[in-house]
Amino acid sequence: MTSILAKDANLQLHSEQDALDIMVSGLPACILQVDDLHPDFFDLSNGLAGAIFQKFVNYSFKVAIVLPRNHDFGPRVTELARDHRFHSCVRFFPTATEAELWLDK
């Protein structure tokens, strides 16, 4: 499987609609980096991340989110990343290289 960085395809994830746009973009999978995500994504109290994840899961679309180990998004985001480390569709990785290795399996 050839995966691609969202930014290379001029894609960003700021809304549920953006998730749908990513899935119909023709990409077989997608790597999202922090700069590709709206700041609201990391405010887990608003439900945006959960709604977006559900879209990817419903359509079995694989997404890797690159979240550096030294991020400043707080313990809830760290917990979310940890909870998704074995998820079938949405996973977090500290580097794009590790994300690509998972998507290429």
Return the ∠ at Cα 24 (arms to 82 and 63), rounded to 5°. Answer: 15
pLDDT in tens, 80-103: 999 999 999 999 999 999 999 999
What's residue 2's pLDDT? 60
Between CA 26 and CA 99 the distance in angstroms is 19
Tokens 């999202």, located at residue: 32
- SS3 for 60-89 is CCEEEEECCCCCCCCHHHHHHHHHCCCCCC
Report the run of H or E that residue 18 belongs to, with start and end.
Answer: helix 16-23
CATH topology for 4-103? Transcription Regulator spoIIAA (3.30.750)
Domain map of the chain by residue range? 4-103
pLDDT in tens, 66-81: 999 899 999 999 999 9
pLDDT in tens, 13-56: 999 999 999 999 999 999 999 999 999 999 999 999 999 999 99
Determine the 3-state secondary structure of 44 from DSSP.
helix
